[in-house]
């Protein structure tokens, strides 16, 4: 019987975060705050809201802070309770969840394909989501993009569903870029004919970049097994998805619409921009930050 519901997500957080050094020398980049919360907390909350019940983190060395962040902290709760810090107790509510957390280690960060391969037993025979731990997807209307992807994935009987966003044509060399099937270029949901990781300038098949969220059937594991490492010895997930297409599996993409935005904190420019947007949107501090920025802008 076809699967009715997707309940598992894999969150890879084992990368070295070298582009954010020295901030990431001894702490995970996924724990860097965007506004009031670490980036990975947004990812987990987005997955909970999508109906996910089990989360597997693919972690590595220096990533223990992520485990601690999602674990209960009875000592802290006791201190806050006895000291009258009830308002602050509210900030720890996110740890009281029915979602079950699992952890596995990717000892050497050999690429996203290798990280996902660590989820083979966790996924078992189920379709599952992959959500990058350093990227947030925000919808102005509060809708859940991953939820939409999961529904479309099952409804269309796909083996892979990718989130894609339009990027500046000069920036395509930074991303995995998809080529829509001919005639489907303008659709919000389209079949992917091919894809290429970080194409050289002027060679990208479109300006649609893969945007940190994927849904897979277990067929991805066979594709990863058959994928050759790149020149750096890394297994690129994009290459495995390409193989999926060549093996005749259905790969589709869902486009982020206006009002839906991906924030990737992988480099300082995008990290700073994300922080500013979330600080401006903050319920309590947003107004003050807006006033501050307006004053500041006059001096620039």
Minimum gap (Å) between residue 32 Cβ and ligand UTP: 11
According to CB under 6 A, which one of 10, 31, 56, 58 is a site residue for ligand UTP? 58
The β-bridge partners of 102 are: 56
Contact call for residue 237 and ligand UTP (CB under 6 A): no
Contact call for residue 106 and ligand UTP (CB under 6 A): yes
Identity of the residue, 34 or 154, whose beta carbon is nearer to ligand UTP in the bound complex: 34
Residue carrying structure tokens 């529904």 = 151
Neighbours of 244 (CB within 10 A): 26
Q: Where does residue 1 rank: exposed (0-12), middle (13-18), buried (19+ CB within 10 A)? A: exposed
Contact call for residue 266 and ligand UTP (CB under 6 A): yes
According to CB under 6 A, which one of 65, 76, 99, 110 is a site residue for ligand UTP? 110
Contact call for residue 176 and ligand UTP (CB under 6 A): no
Identity of the residue, 19 or 181, whose beta carbon is nearer to ligand UTP in the bound complex: 19
Q: Compute how many residues bind ligand UTP; rule: CB under 6 A.
A: 21
The contact mask relative to ligand UTP for 1-40 (x = CB under 6 A, - = no) is -----------xxxxxxxx----------x----------
According to CB under 6 A, which one of 32, 112, 245, 256 is a site residue for ligand UTP? 112
The contact mask relative to ligand UTP for 119-158 (x = CB under 6 A, - = no) is -------------xxx------------------------
What DSSP assignment string belongs to the chain? -------EEEEE-----GGGTTTTSSS-GGGSEETTEEHHHHHHHHHHHTT--EEEEEE-TT-HHHHHHTS--HHHHHHHHHTT-HHHHHTTGGGS-SPEEEEEE-SS---HHHHHHTTHHHHTTS-EEEE-TTEEEEETT---HHHHHHHHHHHTT-SEEEEEEE--GGGGGGSEEEEEPTT-TT-SEEEEEEEEESPPTT--S-SEEEEEEEEE-THHHHHHHTPPP-TTS---HHHHHHHHHHTT--EEEEEPPTTEEEEE-SSHHHHHHHHHHHHHT-TTTHHHHHHHHHHHHHH-
Identity of the residue, 103 or 285, whose beta carbon is nearer to ligand UTP in the bound complex: 103
Contact call for residue 211 and ligand UTP (CB under 6 A): no
Minimum gap (Å) between residue 89 Cβ and ligand UTP: 30
Minimum gap (Å) between residue 78 Cβ and ligand UTP: 33
Interface segment toward ligand UTP; rule CB under 6 A; list 46-54, 104-112, 191-199, 246-254: 104-112
Contact call for residue 81 and ligand UTP (CB under 6 A): no
Asked if residue 142 lies in contact with residue 281, where contact means CB atoms within 8 angstroms, the answer is no
The residue ranges that bind ligand UTP (CB under 6 A) are 12-19, 30, 58, 106, 109-112, 114-115, 132-134, 266
């Amino acid at each position: 019987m076809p699967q009715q519901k997707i309940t598992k997500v894999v969150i890879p957080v084992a990368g070295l975060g070298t582009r954010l050094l020295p901030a990431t020398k001894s702490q995970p980049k996924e724990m860097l705050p965007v506004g009031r919360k670490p980036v990975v907390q947004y990812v987990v909350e987005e997955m909970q809201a999508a109906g996910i019940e089990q989360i597997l983190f693919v972690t590595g060395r220096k990533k223990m802070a992520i485990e601690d962040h999602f674990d209960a902290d009875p000592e802290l709760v006791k201190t806050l309770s006895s000291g009258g810090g009830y308002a602050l107790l509210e900030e720890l509510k996110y740890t009281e969840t029915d979602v079950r957390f699992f952890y596995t280690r990717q000892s050497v960060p050999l690429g996203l394909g290798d990280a996902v391969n660590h989820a083979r037993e966790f996924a078992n025979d189920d379709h599952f989501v992959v959500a990058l731990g350093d990227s947030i997807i925000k919808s102005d209307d509060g809708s859940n993009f991953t939820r939409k992807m999961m529904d479309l994935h099952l409804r269309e009987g796909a083996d892979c569903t990718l989130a894609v966003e339009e990027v500046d044509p000069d920036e395509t060399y930074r991303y995995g870029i998809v080529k829509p099937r001919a005639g489907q270029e303008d659709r919000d949901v389209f079949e992917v004919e091919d894809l290429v990781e970080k194409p050289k300038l002027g060679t990208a098949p479109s300006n649609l970049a893969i945007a940190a969220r994927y849904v897979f059937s277990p067929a991805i594991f066979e594709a990863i097994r058959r994928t050759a490492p790149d020149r750096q010895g890394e297994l690129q997930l994009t290459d495995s998805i390409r193989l999926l297409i060549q093996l005749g599996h259905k790969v589709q993409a869902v486009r982020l619409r206006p009002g839906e935005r991906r924030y990737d904190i992988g480099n300082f420019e995008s990290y700073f921009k994300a922080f500013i947007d979330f600080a401006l949107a903050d319920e309590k501090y947003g107004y003050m930050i807006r006033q501050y920025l307006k004053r500041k802008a006059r001096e620039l």
